[in-house]
Structure formats: C-alpha cells, structure tokens
Amino acid sequence: MMSPIISRLHRCVYWLILMLAGPGTVLAQGVTPKQILIGQSITLQAGKNEYGMAVMDGINAYLQDVYAKGGVNGRQIVLTTLDDDNKASQAEANARKLIEEDKVFILFGSIEGGPSNAVMKVVNELKVPLFGPMAGSPTLRRPHQPLVFPVRAEHRDEFRVLLEYIRSTGGKRVAFFRADSEVGLQHLENFRRLCQELGLELVLDLPFKSDVTDEQLATMAGRIAAANLQGVVNHGSAGLYEKLIRQTRTKGSPTPFMAVNSGSTQLARHLGQLAHGMLFAQVLPSPWERKTDLTREYQDAFKRHKPGVDFSYGSLEGYMTAKALVAALRLAGPQPTRESFIQGIYKAGAFDLNGLRTSYQPGDHAGLKLVDLAMYTRENRFRH
C-alpha cells in the first residue's frame, strides 16, 4: 500500500495533474482533482527526537487508513514533512518553503513552542491556515489567532491541574523550569498568576537556553535541593528536564518533580525508577487502556500499521490530531478553498473525535479542554 507521506517528487506530479485537469478548472493552491497537499514542519532532529517520531507514527497510522478508504471527498492527502530540528529559524524557513515553493493547501502538525510560533508567524503573514499545532504555547491562542486551530489543550491548563494538586496536598513552595525565550516568559507569567491565584509561592524561576551545560543544570539542582520545595514543574524540553531531575537526585534531594504531557512517555521511560511516583498532566486519555472509543480505534490502527511499536501519548496525539485534520478537510467541501476550510470548521462548531469533543468558534479556537493527572507507578505504567 502506498504511504500517505509522499516524497518531494510529488510536487512535479501535482503540476502535471493540474495541467491535465483541463482548461476552465479552477482549483485552490495545493488542491488537484486527486490530491490535497498538506505541509508540515515538525521537530524530528533527524530521527533523534523520540517524541516527534512518536507523533509521526500516530499521524501515519491514521492517514494510512484514510488513504485505503479513498481519501477525503475523492482526494488523497499528500503530507510533505520537513524537519525543523527544534529551531524556530528553521521552522520559519520550512513554512515559507512549503507555502511558496511546494504550494501546499494548509500547514499542519508542528510540535514545540518555539517552532510552532515561528510557523504561526508565517501563516499570519501569508494568510494560510495552520491546523493542529501540538504545542501548549499560550501565543497560539492569545491574542486570538484566526488562522490557527489547536486541537490539544494548552500548557496553562496543565499548570493549573498540577498546581492545584500541590495545594491540595498541603504544598506551598514551587519552582518552574522553563525556556529562556519569549514563549518561556509568557509561560512564566501564566505560571506566576496561577500561583498567586492558588496561594502558592514561586520560589525559583529556572530559565535555560537550549545549549545549557551539565554544570549549569547541576547549579540549578543545587538550588532546588536547598529550597525546601513541594513541587517543580516544567513546560517541555523533556531531555533537559531528565538531566535536571537526575542531577537533583544525585544530591539526595527528595523534591517532587512534575511534568506536562510533552514527551512524558519518553521522559518516564528514560528516568526508570527515578520516575516512580511522578505526576504528569496529560491532555489525552491513556493510550494503553481501552476505556474510550478513541483509544480503542487508535490501538487497533496502531497494531495494524506499526506492529511491535509501543503505544505512547505522543503517537495517540498524532493520531487524534490527524483525525481532526481529516474531519476539517471533509467539511471544506468537494471543491475546498482555504476560506471554505475555515468556514466549514465554524459551521460545524465542534468535532466529535470518538468521544472527545473539540470546540471552534470565531474568536475562540479552544479545541479540546481535556486535562488529566497521571502517575507513573512502580510497575512502569501511567495510572490516570
């Protein structure tokens, strides 16, 4: 079976099909009689980013089934994916290339806050929708972005759930591990406001650059160990957070660490016993349980298309977001345009993703509101 993830050679096919469509045929950019071209800039880091690769596994699993069933309104989805290497500058360049050179219909499925915001900058400039960015950045929603349609809940909602748990267990003093960037500062502002609202004290703000050294992380670990904290929360960067947790534990500190959903499966697996008892905010149901229609569908498809690959939150998020994309494309009608794509979403108002319900209205692209707590147990499992 032909994969829906098509090589760049299909750009040539696109133009050939467009010419063969005949005079008088008017099609939107990225749309041919047989295909819809979708562009994606995502953090894969040449296959080294486990979370990004898991997301792609989930996307591919869903699109394989769509491809086998004839696509969307008679057109196959052609996904052109470029690796942004977790660099905002590369994500911006990728987005421009996909729109201006590859002539895609819309953009889809970025991860990580910095790259996602860089893609958003381009779509706002070039007036192209961005559907399903899988990042929790506040800027994807505030101020309102009429061309950006997130599916998952944002990090602010995850911070609230984690901080409410700390308060409910008698905690008062917390720390925040976040990127030293514009997006990181916005996360810090949200985190600070939540602490004030819940009566918690933000004792340590721990900003980091992408090139932070082990020595700098050791210094942060020392500050954590000495601060008598009842919780440390991150906003992503699972690999660096893992190093910080390890450094803190080597100092004998029992400080509780908590994490947002991004890369949580990989973080817990890498930490092993050090993750036992850790709490994670999750924006999805458990991918290992069959308690919802969505997870049953995901598991069955994943076993068919990715045999031997473990379930994860990342692949479930990719699967779910691809499912939402296809629903939106169907609503755009038999002759889709970017305008009909947006209006179709608004007319529907919501997507039912097998039991999970999104919400989109002019002025409010909420997506899903689901945020849950999951503990990583001694059996090396997440328990919701």
pLDDT digits over 198-207, tens only? 999 999 999 9
Place 14 in a pLDDT band, splitting at 50, 70 and 90. very low
Concatenate the DSSP letters of all residues of 298-334 into one string: HHHHHHHHSTTPPP-HHHHHHHHHHHHHHHHHHHT-S
What's residue 26's pLDDT?
Answer: 61
Tokens read off for 114: 């910095």
Q: Is the pLDDT of residue 5 over 60?
A: no
Query: What are 329-346's pLDDT values in tens digits?
Result: 999 999 999 999 999 999
CA 277, CA 375: separation in Å to the nearest integer? 6
Q: Could you give the percent of the chain with pLDDT greater than 90?
A: 90
Q: Could you tell me whether strands 35-42 and 106-108 are parallel, antiparallel, or unpaired per DSSP bridges?
A: parallel
Q: What is the pTM of this model?
A: 0.90
**Would you say the CATH fold of 155-260 matches that of 10-152+291-367?**
yes
Percent of the chain beyond pLDDT 70?
Answer: 93
CATH, range 10-152+291-367: 3.40.50.2300
Cα-only R_g, the chain: 21
- What the block records as the tokens of 175 is 């720390």
CA distance 371 to 89: 31
Please give the pLDDT value at position 148: 98
Class of domain 155-260: alpha beta
Q: Tokens 């003093």 correspond to what residue?
A: 173
Kindly list the distances between the CA atom of residue 353 and the CA atoms of 43, 101, 301, 336, in Å, as whole numbers in the listed order.
25, 33, 15, 22
| Ranges of each domain in the chain | 10-152+291-367, 155-260
pLDDT in tens, 170-191: 999 999 999 999 889 999 999 9
Residues in the chain: 384
Q: How would you list the strands of the sheet with 279-282, edge to edge?
A: 201-208, 173-179, 231-234, 257-259, 279-282, 372-376, 382-383
> Which pLDDT tens digit goes with each residue over 269-284?
999 999 999 999 999 9
